[in-house]
C-alpha cells in the first residue's frame, strides 16, 4: 500500500493505482473525458491534469501511478485555469454546433465538462476545416467534426469487442477516426456491436435509432438480460412512453461485463414484422378475429379428446421463451396431453449431442470466464463474427497479447483476418480432423494426459484426405494446441448439428489430451443456439420434430421466426394452433392464432450457454388483447380439466446438464 495526499486528504491505495482512480476512491472529483472505467488509461484529453508537489509541470492523473508520499492538488487556481484552457482548445480544434447536436443538453460529457467550468464561450474560433462525416453504417454515423480524439471508440473496438476496426489516421490536428484502412464504416470489418457509440463522450458517433428521441434523464432505465442468443448478456434498456429507445451493454453484467452485439443492441428496436393483436380463427377458410373465449374453447374442444393419444398432439415451442413457460409447455403437452412429439423449435440441433454426452459423463463444459486467460483458442464450426459474437469478443480482444486463434469450419472467411491458422473443412470431415489431431499429438508424445492410438499414421492420412489440408499444416496446428498452456476449445452448430455424440466425445478427448480440460480447468465450450437452448434441452425438448400423422399441432412460437422447414412440416397438419406474436406464413396457415407477449412484455428466466440462470425483466406493457405465454398454457390446461403444478426449478434438474448451473 502507498500513502498519498490529495487535496489535504490522506489516503492509502494499492501500489500501481493511478492518481485518478485513487481520487475517485476517496470521493474526490477530477474532470475527465478520455478516461473510461472499462478501458486502458490513455492520457489523451489532458483534462485530468493535477498539480503534484515537487513535479515540474501539471500531470495527467489518469496515467500517473501514485508513489509513496505524493502530495496532489486538483483545484489550485493554476490547475483550474489550465483545465479551462485545455477544454477551450478542444472546442476550438473541431467544429462544435451544440444547438442541433443530439447529445447536447445532458448526454454530452464534453459539454457537461465545459458547464462544470462555467465556460460561456471559447475564446479561439475553429479553423473552419470540414472534417469527414461517414454515414455509410446502418446503425450509426461518424462525424469527425465533433470528435475530440479521445480514442475511447478505438480502445473499445480493440479492448472490449476485439474487432480492431477503428483506428486513427493522420497526425495532430488532422487526425481522424477511420475504419480499417480508411474505408467507409458500412463496408468495413465492423461487426456492428455499437460499443464505440456507447462509450463516445461527445456527439461524434450518432446512434441513428435513438438520436433526438430524448436524453438519458427522460428515460426509464431497466436492467435486464438479452434474449437474442444463448450468451445471456446483461443489458440496460432505456424506455420512453412504452417504447424502447435504446439498449446498452451493462458493464455490471455477470456474463458479458458490458459487451453486446448487433443482435442485442440493434435488432430488438428494428422489428418490422406485423404484430398480431387479437385472437383469430379460421372460418370458411379465412382467418377471422374472434374473442379469447371463442378461440380457447374451440381449440380445447379439439385438443381435449386427443389427450392420452401418443400421436394425438404434436407440440413445439420456441427456445426464446422463458424457462417457466417452457416447463409449463412441456408439462401440458408431454405429461398431461401425453403427446409423444413435444420439442423445441431448435429441435436439439445445438444441444442434443452435448446433452446425451453429458448424461453419461456429467458436466464437461466450462464457463466463459475461462476465455480470459486462454492462450490458444480452437474454434470449430462456430462463426463468432456472425452469431454469439460476444463469445468471440472474449478471446478476440486478447489476440494482441499473444492469444492464437485456430479457426476451423466450412466457412472461415469472416474470422480469417484474425486467425493465426485457418482450416476450411468439408462436410463430414470433422471427425477425421479431430482424430488426426489426437494422432499427431500422441505420435509426437506431446499429450498432457495418457492416450493410446493404434494406427496414428492412418488417422493422420485420413485427416489429410478428408479436409484437404496439408499434413504439415495439421501437424503444426496440433503442435500449437498441444504446446499451449491454457488452450480452450469452442465449438458451435457446425459440430452439434451433426447430432453425433461420438464427435462431441472425440472433441472432449482432444480437450483432455491438450490440457484444455483437466482437474482445474474446463476449457471446452459449446456456444449452443438461442436464449434458452440449454433449458429446453434440460427439459428434454431437444428431439427432431418429425410429424407422424398427428391430428393436431400446437406451435408456441412467441416472437421467434418460424423456419421454412417448420412451416412446410406443420402446414399438412389437420389442425394447427399458432401461439405467436407476429404475422407469418405459419400464422397464415393456422386454424387458431393466439396473440402473445414478446420478450420485452414478459418476465422470466433464461439459462445461458455456460449455465448462468438469469432473469429477464418485463420492460414494456403489452397491447391490450395480448396475453402472456404462460397465461395461455394455464388457460388451455384449465379448460381441459388439467392442473399444471410442476416446479420449473425442479423440472430442469431432471437431466444432467453439460455445464454446471449457477
Question: How many Cβ atoms sit within 10 Å of the Cβ of residue 329?
Answer: 28
65: helix, coil or strand?
strand
Examine residue 105 and tell whether it contacts another protein (CB under 8 A). yes
Task: Please report where in the chains the cell 468439408 appears, as a residue.
Answer: 426
Stretch that binds another protein, among 107-115, 298-306, 517-525, 534-542 (CB under 8 A): 107-115
Examine residue 292 and tell whether it contacts another protein (CB under 8 A). no
| Cα–Cα nearest to 200, from 33, 37, 49 | 33
In the complex, the smallest distance separating the C-beta of residue 84 from another protein, rounded to whole angstroms, is: 13
Examine residue 120 and tell whether it contacts another protein (CB under 8 A). yes
In the complex, the smallest distance separating the C-beta of residue 595 from another protein, rounded to whole angstroms, is: 43
Gap between the Cα atoms of 220 and 604, Å rounded: 20
Evaluate whether 6 touches 19 at the Cβ level (below 8 Å).
yes
Stretch that binds another protein, among 38-46, 94-102, 253-261, 364-372 (CB under 8 A): 94-102
Gap between the Cα atoms of 388 and 276, Å rounded: 29
Q: Which is nearer to another protein, 71 or 98 (CB)?
A: 98
Q: Can you tell me which of 8, 16, 100, 401 binds another protein, judged by CB under 8 A?
A: 100
Stretch that binds another protein, among 119-127, 255-263, 413-421, 618-626 (CB under 8 A): 119-127
Residues 125-154 binding another protein (CB under 8 A) are: 125, 128-130
Examine residue 101 and tell whether it contacts another protein (CB under 8 A). yes
Examine residue 174 and tell whether it contacts another protein (CB under 8 A). no
Query: Which parts of 113-219 are beta strand (E)?
Result: 133-134, 140-143, 166-169, 176-179, 205-207
Q: Which is nearer to another protein, 111 or 600 (CB)?
A: 111
Residues 534-553 binding another protein (CB under 8 A) are: none
Sorted by sequence, the CB contacts under 8 Å of residue 594 that are 6+ apart come out as 279, 295, 296, 577, 578, 579, 580, 627, 632
Q: Do the strands 576-580 and 552-558 form a parallel or antiparallel pair, or are they unpaired?
A: parallel
Q: Which is nearer to another protein, 29 or 426 (CB)?
A: 29
Evaluate whether 50 touches 58 at the Cβ level (below 8 Å).
yes
Contacts of 418-426 with CB under 8 Å at 24 or more apart are: 418/164, 420/480, 421/473, 421/476, 421/477, 421/480, 423/467, 423/469, 423/473, 423/474, 423/477, 424/467, 424/468, 425/467, 426/466, 426/467, 426/468
**Binding residues with another protein: total (CB under 8 A):** 20
Examine residue 217 and tell whether it contacts another protein (CB under 8 A). no
Q: Which is nearer to another protein, 104 or 486 (CB)?
A: 104
Stretch that binds another protein, among 2-10, 114-122, 396-404, 639-647 (CB under 8 A): 114-122
Q: Can you tell me which of 111, 144, 343, 484 binds another protein, judged by CB under 8 A?
A: 111
Site string for another protein, 437-476 (x = CB under 8 A): ----------------------------------------
Report the run of H or E that residue 475 belongs to, with start and end: helix 471-483
Return the bridge partners of 176, or none. Answer: 169
Stretch that binds another protein, among 93-101, 363-371, 411-419, 426-434 (CB under 8 A): 93-101
Q: Can you tell me which of 122, 251, 292, 561 binds another protein, judged by CB under 8 A?
A: 122
Question: How many Cβ atoms sit within 10 Å of the Cβ of residue 449?
Answer: 11
Question: How many Cβ atoms sit within 10 Å of the Cβ of residue 76?
Answer: 13
Examine residue 212 and tell whether it contacts another protein (CB under 8 A). no
Examine residue 104 and tell whether it contacts another protein (CB under 8 A). yes
Site string for another protein, 39-78 (x = CB under 8 A): ----------------------------------------
Q: Can you tell me which of 8, 16, 37, 99 binds another protein, judged by CB under 8 A?
A: 99
Gap between the Cα atoms of 635 and 292, Å rounded: 10
In the complex, the smallest distance separating the C-beta of residue 88 from another protein, rounded to whole angstroms, is: 12
Q: Which is nearer to another protein, 89 or 270 (CB)?
A: 89
Alpha-carbon Rg for the chain, nearest whole angstrom, is 28
Examine residue 97 and tell whether it contacts another protein (CB under 8 A). yes
Q: Which residues contact another protein by CB under 8 A?
A: 95, 97-101, 104-105, 111, 114-115, 118, 120-123, 125, 128-130
Amino acid at each position: 500500500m502507498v500513502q498519498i495526499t490529495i487535496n489535504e486528504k490522506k489516503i492509502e491505495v494499492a501500489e500501481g493505482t493511478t492518481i485518478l482512480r485513487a481520487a475517485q476512491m476517496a470521493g474526490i472529483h477530477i474532470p475527465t473525458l478520455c478516461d473510461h472505467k472499462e478501458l486502458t488509461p490513455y492520457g489523451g484529453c489532458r483534462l485530468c491534469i493535477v498539480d503534484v508537489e515537487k513535479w515540474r509541470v501539471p500531470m495527467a492523473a489518469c496515467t500517473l501511478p501514485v508513489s509513496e508520499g505524493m502530495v496532489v492538488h486538483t483545484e489550485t487556481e493554476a490547475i483550474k485555469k489550465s483545465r479551462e484552457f485545455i477544454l477551450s482548445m478542444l472546442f476550438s480544434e473541431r467544429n462544435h454546433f451544440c444547438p442541433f447536436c443530439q447529445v447536447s443538453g445532458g448526454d454530452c460529457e464534453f459539454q457537461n465538462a465545459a458547464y462544470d467550468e462555467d465556460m460561456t464561450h471559447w475564446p479561439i474560433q475553429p479553423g473552419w476545416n470540414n472534417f469527414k462525416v461517414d454515414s455509410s453504417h446502418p446503425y450509426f454515423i461518424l462525424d469527425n467534426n465533433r470528435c475530440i480524439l479521445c480514442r475511447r471508440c478505438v480502445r473499445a473496438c480493440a479492448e472490449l469487442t476485439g474487432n480492431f476496426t477503428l483506428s486513427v489516421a493522420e497526425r495532430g490536428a488532422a487526425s481522424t477516426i477511420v475504419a480499417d484502412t480508411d474505408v467507409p464504416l458500412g463496408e468495413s470489418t465492423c461487426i456492428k456491436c455499437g460499443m464505440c457509440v456507447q462509450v463516445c463522450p461527445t456527439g461524434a458517433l450518432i446512434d441513428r435509432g435513438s438520436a433526438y428521441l430524448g436524453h438519458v434523464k427522460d428515460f426509464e432505465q431497466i436492467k435486464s438480460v438479452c434474449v437474442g442468443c444463448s450468451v445471456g448478456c446483461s443489458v440496460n434498456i432505456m424506455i420512453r412512453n412504452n417504447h424502447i429507445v435504446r439498449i446498452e451493454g451493462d458493464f455490471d453484467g455477470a456474463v458479458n461485463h458490458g459487451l453486446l452485439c448487433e443482435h442485442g443492441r440493434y435488432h430488438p428496436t428494428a422489428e418490422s414484422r406485423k404484430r398480431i393483436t387479437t385472437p383469430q380463427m379460421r372460418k370458411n377458410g379465412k382467418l377471422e378475429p374472434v374473442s379469447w373465449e371463442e378461440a380457447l374453447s374451440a381449440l380445447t374442444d379439439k385438443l381435449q379428446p386427443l389427450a392420452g393419444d401418443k400421436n394425438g398432439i404434436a407440440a413445439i415451442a420456441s427456445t426464446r421463451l422463458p424457462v417457466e413457460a417452457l416447463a409449463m409447455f412441456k408439462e401440458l403437452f408431454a405429461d398431461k396431453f401425453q403427446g409423444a412429439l413435444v420439442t423445441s423449435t431448435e429441435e436439439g440441433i445445438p444441444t442434443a449431442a452435448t446433452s446425451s454426452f453429458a448424461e453419461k459423463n456429467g458436466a464437461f463444459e466450462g464457463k466463459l470466464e475461462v476465455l480470459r486467460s486462454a492462450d490458444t483458442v480452437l474454434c470449430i464450426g462456430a462463426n463468432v463474427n456472425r452469431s454469439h459474437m460476444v463469445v468471440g469478443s472474449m478471446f478476440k480482444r486478447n489476440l494482441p497479447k499473444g492469444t492464437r486463434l485456430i479457426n476451423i469450419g466450412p466457412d472461415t472467411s469472416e474470422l480469417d483476418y484474425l486467425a493465426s491458422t485457418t482450416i476450411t473443412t468439408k462436410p463430414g470431415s470433422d471427425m477425421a480432423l479431430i482424430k488426426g489431431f489426437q494422432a499427431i499429438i500422441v505420435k509426437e508424445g506431446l499429450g498432457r494426459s495418457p492416450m493410446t492410438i493404434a494406427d496414428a499414421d492412418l488417422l493422420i492420412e485420413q485427416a489429410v484426405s478428408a479436409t484437404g489440408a496439408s499434413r504439415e499444416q495439421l501437424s503444426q496446428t496440433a503442435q500449437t494446441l498441444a504446446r499451449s498452456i491454457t488452450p480452450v476449445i469452442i465449438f458451435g452448430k457446425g459440430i452439434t448439428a451433426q447430432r453425433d455424440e461420438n464427435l462431441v466425445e472425440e472433441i472432449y478427448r482432444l480437450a483432455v489430451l491438450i490440457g484444455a480440460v483437466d482437474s482445474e480447468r474446463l476449457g471446452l465450450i459449446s456456444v449452443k443456439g438461442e436464449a434458452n437452448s440449454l433449458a429446453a434441452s434440460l427439459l428434454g425438448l431437444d428431439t427432431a420434430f418429425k410429424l407422424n400423422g398427428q391430428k393436431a399441432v400446437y406451435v408456441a412460437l412467441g416472437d421467434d421466426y418460424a423456419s421454412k422447414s417448420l412451416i412446410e412440416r406443420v402446414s399438412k397438419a389437420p389442425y394447427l394452433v399458432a401461439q405467436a406474436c407476429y404475422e407469418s406464413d405459419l400464422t397464415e396457415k393456422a386454424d387458431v392464432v393466439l396473440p402473445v407477449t414478446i420478450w420485452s412484455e414478459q418476465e422470466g428466466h433464461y439459462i445461458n450457454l455456460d449455465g448462468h440462470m438469469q432473469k429477464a425483466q418485463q420492460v414494456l406493457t403489452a397491447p391490450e388483447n395480448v396475453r402472456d405465454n404462460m397465461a395461455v398454457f394455464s388457460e388451455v390446461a384449465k379448460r381441459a380439466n388439467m392442473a399444471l403444478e410442476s416446479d420449473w426449478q425442479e423440472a430442469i434438474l431432471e437431466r444432467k446438464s453439460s455445464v454446471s448451473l449457477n
